Structure 1
Amino acid sequence: MGCINKQSDLEFERSVANEIFPALLDSGHYDTRMAPPPPPPPPSGFELNDSSKIEWSETEFIKFYERRKAILEKDTTKLIVAIADSTYNFDERARKKFIEF
């Protein structure tokens, strides 16, 4: 038996835009705030030929990262992924050709 609900093309496109597309983005999105930060930069006055002068506490760094991660995991802020439409990036020549077309 066929589909009972007949949708117009516009209704189908709206259902894709409103249901499938956000679910697809959610499944592939990774919150970059959860990634560990890079190691701190070397202190000022650091000489490249003597790496023994670099001093930073790895345990403090890990504690800070774990605290930050716990805060972000409890965060209920909605993140919005925006996709720039390429039509806004027309240069003047392309815009004229498009208008002529």
Structure 2
Amino acid sequence: MKGDVFMDNMVTRNSTASTRVSKNVKEKAIRNLATRGITLSEFLRFAVGKAADDDIELINFLDSPEALKAKKEVETGNIEKIGTLDDLDNWMDRL
């Protein structure tokens, strides 16, 4: 009987998901999550579960204080030109 209850409460892990991040980002995430008492794997399982339940709030980085400040600078012409579109293309080609 006791074994049956245990089996009913077990979580079946039959799928994996993976992503790639820099070593530095992973290490920082592990340290920050550890201060909250959870592992990276636990956090990722939690995040994927929230996404599956459509219980997530995405951050709109375009509404961040930095982005709004940059938008205002562009709209008022208060910007510093640092290159041309060709310079940007050349830089992107080197990435």
Question: Could you tell me the TM-score, scaled by structure 1's length?
Answer: 0.24
Higher relative contact order (CA 8 A, sep 6+): 1
Based on CA coordinates, which of the two structures has the bigger radius of gyration?
Answer: 1
Question: Could you tell me the TM-score, scaled by structure 2's length?
Answer: 0.25
